[in-house]
């Protein structure tokens, strides 16, 4: 099940922490709006002792009551179990310890299951999901959605009780593998619950956004296997957002400010109000209109929300709602010269689109207070918010700022450079969408924000798929010539397997490979001096040429600098010799005609350190050997017709894909991953 990893992770971690704080909770229709907590739990069937213990454990109370009564409320109005946003009254929680949770949770859940017996099996699953994810991982007060009955009714009329999520990337760069996790969560939850997921472009910063990025995002979402319910843009809502900003000013909850960024920073550090915070409402309305009409210079005014400058949460320090930017918008054109901020627009558009679950990564957790503050100030529907850990992979950078610098300063060859963890780069490297999704599914969804996933774990999933789907073939990267002296000039056509378990009677599972008097092997597969642990070719030693015959080295022709010019050998046509070593090889397809030449690009980790983002000089950590280009590799003739995107296993070398730089004159292959697998062998 999609959410099983969340529940399992919660069970593992629930004994690790001590919890404190206050939590607001919403309890709904079906038990009475004015019920006290103790009365509430007695009404749903708990005995007095269990009810008292439950009230003492406020976070359990907060989350269970919210979900129970949402389910019961929806049962009352629809006659069938369903799911939507959470509502309704509030309650304080006191300090408690996890031992109480483990003692009380199971019996409490038993009573809840009995109390909502008219629901379906999914009800209890929903309770488990909500309680585990919300309680067991939050070390601060948990803010939950607070919707009135009227707002919730209106919301349910639109959604029909379905789950609505959104995948909201900003089109300011190419998507990376961290976005693959976000897609898996957003689209995956909606799919599992029979709901819908928007693809929404969070396009509030025209200076950083491009049509190129917009087009890329839609294309890559489809490549990853996800189908949006609708494609929307925050810019589609600019007029509504503007009107709501005007309303916010009228309600005394926003003001036009003239502080510089440095002054704002200084005042926030001192928890001081802006000198313009208490200016008259009519004055702010006029100035905001002037901002909209382009009558105020860029940088001379902003619209700020009047939040709480004394809060312990810096995301409540009068965040900016609008700023002036005389920059055309890639989607909206030049209609606007004021643009909403992320903190202003994101929650409002979630509400306008009736999103039921707003799922974000953990760095947005402190923004939850601002998210709900603004929706409450405007009287708008409030979605359920939950945060999960970012995906961090070793030997890579994931921030768009750093990725953009790598691209613009030409440290790499564009956003789709195969060394990058961008989805375009991984695709160009030959990684499939299904292996990326398998990787994301395998690591699970947790609330631990300090985990660094090793790159070889991703490589494991890549190999797992390519081992089943990539046809085998032979390429020699650094060829050395071998002349078989006891063979005439004829050419033999031998059968080579595309698949290791190919049945002998299946012709489609084989390809033809020529075998002639002149073959080429890897330079690394020959030594002048043999040893017991060496399985390559050496003077006087025999090896087996894969799918062909044993050969024995009889002579070596050296150049002036002792370089090997040619190896001479004899082959055993009867295959009586049984050597231990087996080598891949490529032969001349006609006497005197060299094999098919191809270019092969060998990619390695882009950074030397596991976590380059932590380094001050992170660019100094770039691996100088992350890309090695072999310009004159030899390939078997059957590869001549390979198309861009075709994947192969080059025997003994790894998995490769045909790159887009290929031409009719020369094929170019990118190495996707080597054959060696450290993860399944206990690599850490």
Span 375-425, pLDDT tens digits: 999 999 999 998 888 999 999 999 999 999 999 999 999 999 999 999 999
Same domain, 62 and 11: yes
pLDDT tens, residue by residue, 477-532: 999 999 999 999 899 999 999 998 888 888 889 999 999 999 999 999 999 999 98
401's enclosing H/E stretch is helix 400-408
DSSP string, 153-208: HHHHHHHTT--EEEE---SSS--BHHHHHHHHHHHHHHHHTT-EEEEEE----TTT
* Residue 41: pLDDT band with limits 50, 70, 90: low
Nearest to 364 by CA among 351, 346, 348: 346
CATH number for 313: 3.40.50.620
139 SS3 class: coil
Quick check: is 109 in a domain? yes
Query: Which two structure tokens, joined as six digits, stand for 177?
Result: 């593998």
Q: Which residue has the tokens 């062998």?
A: 681
CB-count burial class (<10 Å; 0-12, 13-18, 19+) for 535: middle
**pLDDT number for residue 236:** 97
Q: What is the mean pLDDT of residues 38-45?
A: 63
Question: Cβ distance 440 to 181 under 8 Å?
Answer: yes
Same domain, 434 and 379: no
Quick check: is 486 in a domain? yes
**pLDDT number for residue 43:** 62
Question: Cβ distance 529 to 551 under 8 Å?
Answer: no
Query: Which two structure tokens, joined as six digits, stand for 150?
Result: 């009227």
Q: Which of 103-112, 441-450, 514-523 has the highest mean pLDDT?
A: 514-523
Same domain, 509 and 608: no
Same domain, 467 and 477: no
**Between the CA of residue 180 and those of 92, 191, 264, 279, what are the distances in Å?**
38, 15, 36, 46
CA–CA dist 68, 82 (Å, integer): 12
Same domain, 507 and 590: yes
pLDDT tens, residue by residue, 241-298: 999 999 999 999 999 999 999 999 999 999 999 999 999 999 999 999 999 999 999 9
**pLDDT number for residue 28:** 33
The residue from 556, 577, 594 where one domain ends is 594
**pLDDT number for residue 677:** 64
DSSP string, 222-270: HHTT---SEEEEGGGGHHHHHHHHHHHHHTTSEEEE---HHHHHHHHHT
Same domain, 631 and 650: yes
Same domain, 61 and 42: yes
Q: 121-135, 503-517, 588-602, 619-633: lowest mean pLDDT where?
A: 121-135
- On average, the pLDDT of the chain sits at 83
Q: Are strands 230-233 and 254-257 parallel, antiparallel or unpaired?
A: unpaired
**pLDDT number for residue 140:** 45
Q: What is the mean pLDDT of residues 582-602?
A: 96
131's enclosing H/E stretch is helix 121-135
**Between the CA of residue 472 and those of 475, 524, 600, what are the distances in Å?**
10, 21, 16
Quick check: is 142 in a domain? yes
Q: Which residue has the tokens 């009352």?
A: 76
pLDDT tens, residue by residue, 315-339: 999 999 999 999 999 999 999 999 9
DSSP string, 53-122: HHHHSHHHHHHHHHHHHHHHHHHHHHSS---------------B-HHHHHHHHHHHHHHHHHHTTTS-HH
Nearest to 315 by CA among 251, 360, 249: 360
The residue from 557, 579, 594 where one domain ends is 594
CA–CA dist 154, 448 (Å, integer): 36
Residues in CB range of 223: below 8 A, 6 or more apart: 423, 427, 433
CATH number for 530: 2.40.240.10
Same domain, 451 and 477: no
**pLDDT number for residue 577:** 86
Neighbours of 640 (CB within 10 A): 12
Quick check: is 395 in a domain? no
Quick check: is 406 in a domain? yes
Quick check: is 656 in a domain? yes
Positions annotated as catalytic residues are: 170, 390, 400
The residue from 594, 629, 663 where one domain ends is 594
Same domain, 326 and 444: no
Q: 56-60, 209-213, 250-254, 613-617: lowest mean pLDDT where?
A: 56-60
CA–CA dist 416, 424 (Å, integer): 5
Asked if residue 17 has pLDDT above 90, the reply is: no
* pTM, rounded to two decimals: 0.80
**pLDDT number for residue 86:** 30
Same domain, 275 and 324: yes
Same domain, 176 and 193: yes
**Number of independent structural domains in the chain:** 4
Neighbours of 141 (CB within 10 A): 18
Sign of the alpha-carbon dihedral angle for 312, 315, 321, 323: positive
Quick check: is 393 in a domain? no
**pLDDT number for residue 138:** 38
* Residue 444: pLDDT band with limits 50, 70, 90: confident
**pLDDT number for residue 118:** 43
pLDDT tens, residue by residue, 110-151: 444 444 444 444 443 444 344 333 433 334 445 778 888 899
Same domain, 580 and 620: no
- 66 or 204, greater pLDDT: 204
**pLDDT number for residue 68:** 46
Nearest to 344 by CA among 265, 438, 238: 238
Domain holding 234, by residue range, is 162-388
Quote the percentage of the chain above a pLDDT of 90. Answer: 70
Quick check: is 26 in a domain? yes
Nearest to 357 by CA among 240, 238, 218, 188: 188
DSSP string, 29-40: TTS-TT--HHHH
């Amino acid at each position: 099940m999609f959410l099983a990893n969340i529940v399992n992770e919660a069970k593992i971690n629930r004994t690790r922490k001590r919890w404190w704080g206050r939590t607001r909770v919403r309890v709904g229709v079906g038990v009475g709006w004015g019920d006290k907590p103790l009365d509430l739990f007695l009404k749903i069937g708990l005995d007095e002792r269990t009810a008292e213990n439950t009230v003492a454990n406020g976070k359990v109370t907060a989350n269970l009551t919210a979900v129970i009564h949402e389910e019961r409320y929806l049962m009352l109005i629809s006659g069938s179990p369903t799911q939507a946003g959470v509502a309704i009254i509030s309650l304080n929680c006191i300090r408690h310890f996890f031992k109480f949770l483990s003692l009380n949770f199971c019996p409490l859940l038993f009573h809840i299951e009995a109390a909502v017996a008219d629901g379906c099996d999914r009800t209890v699953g929903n309770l488990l999901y909500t309680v585990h994810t919300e309680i067991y991982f939050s070390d601060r007060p948990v803010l939950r959605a607070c919707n009135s009955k009227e707002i919730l009714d209106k919301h349910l009329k639109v959604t029909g009780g379905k789950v609505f999520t959104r995948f909201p990337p900003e089109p300011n760069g190419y998507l990376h593998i961290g976005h693959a996790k976000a897609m898996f969560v957003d689209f995956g939850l909606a799919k599992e619950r029979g709901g819908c997921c928007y693809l929404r472009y969070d396009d509030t910063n025209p200076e950083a956004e491009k049509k190129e990025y917009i087009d890329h995002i839609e294309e890559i979402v489809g490549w990853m296997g996800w189908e949006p319910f609708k494609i929307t843009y925050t810019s589609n809502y600019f007029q509504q957002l503007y009107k709501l900003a005007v309303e916010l000013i009228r309600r005394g909850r926003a003001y036009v400010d003239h502080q510089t960024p440095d002054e704002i920073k200084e005042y926030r550090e001192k928890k001081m109000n802006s000198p313009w915070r208490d200016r008259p409402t009519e004055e702010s309305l006029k100035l905001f209109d002037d901002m909209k009409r382009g009558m105020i210079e860029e940088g001379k005014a902003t619209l700020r929300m009047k939040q709480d400058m004394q809060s312990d949460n810096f995301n409540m320090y009068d965040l900016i709602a609008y700023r002036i930017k005389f920059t055309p918008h890639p989607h909206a054109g030049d209609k606007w010269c004021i643009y909403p901020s992320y903190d202003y627009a994101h929650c409002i558009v979630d509400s306008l689109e009736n999103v039921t679950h707003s799922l974000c990564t953990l760095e947005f957790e402190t923004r939850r207070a601002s998210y709900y503050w603004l929706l409450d100030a405007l009287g708008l529907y409030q979605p359920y918010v939950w945060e999960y850990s970012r995906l961090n992979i070793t030997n890579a950078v994931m921030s768009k700022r750093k990725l953009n610098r790598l691209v613009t300063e030409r440290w790499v060859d564009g956003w789709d450079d195969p060394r990058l963890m961008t989805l375009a780069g991984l695709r160009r490297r030959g990684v499939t969408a299904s292996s990326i999704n398998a990787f994301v599914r395998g690591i699970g969804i947790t609330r631990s924000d300090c985990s660094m996933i090793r790159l070889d774990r991703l490589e494991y999933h890549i190999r797992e798929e390519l081992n089943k789907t990539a046809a085998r073939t032979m390429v020699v990267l650094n060829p050395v010539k071998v002349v078989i002296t006891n063979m005439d000039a004829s050419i033999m056509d031998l059968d080579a397997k595309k698949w290791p378990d190919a049945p002998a009677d299946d012709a489609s599972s084989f390809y033809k490979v020529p075998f002639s008097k002149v073959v080429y092997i890897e330079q690394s597969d020959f030594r002048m001096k043999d040893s017991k642990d060496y399985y390559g070719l050496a003077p006087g030693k025999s090896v087996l040429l894969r799918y062909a015959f044993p050969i024995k080295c009889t002579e070596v022709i050296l150049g002036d600098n002792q370089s090997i010019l040619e190896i001479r050998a004899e082959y055993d046509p009867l295959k009586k010799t049984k050597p231990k070593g087996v080598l891949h090889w490529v032969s001349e397809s006609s006497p005197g005609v060299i094999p098919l030449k191809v270019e092969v690009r060998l990619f390695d980790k882009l950074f030397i350190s596991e976590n380059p983002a932590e380094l001050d000089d992170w660019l100094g950590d770039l691996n100088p050997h992350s890309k090695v280009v072999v310009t004159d590799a030899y390939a078997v003739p059957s590869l001549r017709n390979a198309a861009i995107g075709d994947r192969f296993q080059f025997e003994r070398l790894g998995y490769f894909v045909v790159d887009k730089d290929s031409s009719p004159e020369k094929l170019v292959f990118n190495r996707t991953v080597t054959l060696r697998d450290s993860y399944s062998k206990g690599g850490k």
